[in-house]
Amino acid sequence: MEEPLVRVSHSGNVRTLALNRPKALNSFTGAMHGELRAALDAAAGDREVRCVVVTGTGRGFCAGQDLADPAVAPNRDGGGAATDVGAAIERFYKPLALRIRSMPVPVLAAVNGVAAGAGANFALLCDVVVAARSASFIQAFSKIGLIPDCGGTWLLPRLVGRANALGLALLGDKLAAEDAVRLGLIWKCVDDAEFAAEVDALAARLAALPTRALVATRQALDASQHLDLGAALGLEADAQRTLGAAHDFQEGVAAFMAKRAAVFTDR
Which residues contribute to the site for ligand T3D (CB under 6 A)? 24-25, 27, 63-68, 72, 85, 88, 114, 116-118, 138, 140-141, 144, 146, 149
| CA neighbor of 112 nearest in space, from 65, 178, 52, 60 | 60
Return the number of the residue (46 or 178) whose C-beta is nearest ligand T3D: 178
Return the number of the residue (113 or 210) whose C-beta is nearest ligand T3D: 113
Return the number of the residue (89 or 216) whose C-beta is nearest ligand T3D: 89
Return the number of the residue (195 or 249) whose C-beta is nearest ligand T3D: 195
**Minimum gap (Å) between residue 32 Cβ and ligand T3D:** 11
Return the number of the residue (140 or 215) whose C-beta is nearest ligand T3D: 140
**Minimum gap (Å) between residue 165 Cβ and ligand T3D:** 17
**Minimum gap (Å) between residue 195 Cβ and ligand T3D:** 18
**Minimum gap (Å) between residue 257 Cβ and ligand T3D:** 50
Collect contacts of 204-208 with beta carbons under 8 A, ≥24 apart: 204/12, 204/14, 204/51, 206/50, 206/51, 206/106, 206/108, 206/127, 206/128, 207/12, 207/13, 207/14, 207/50, 207/51, 208/13, 208/50, 208/264
Return the number of the residue (141 or 264) whose C-beta is nearest ligand T3D: 141
**Minimum gap (Å) between residue 27 Cβ and ligand T3D:** 4
**Minimum gap (Å) between residue 251 Cβ and ligand T3D:** 42
Return the number of the residue (59 or 247) whose C-beta is nearest ligand T3D: 59
**Minimum gap (Å) between residue 235 Cβ and ligand T3D:** 33
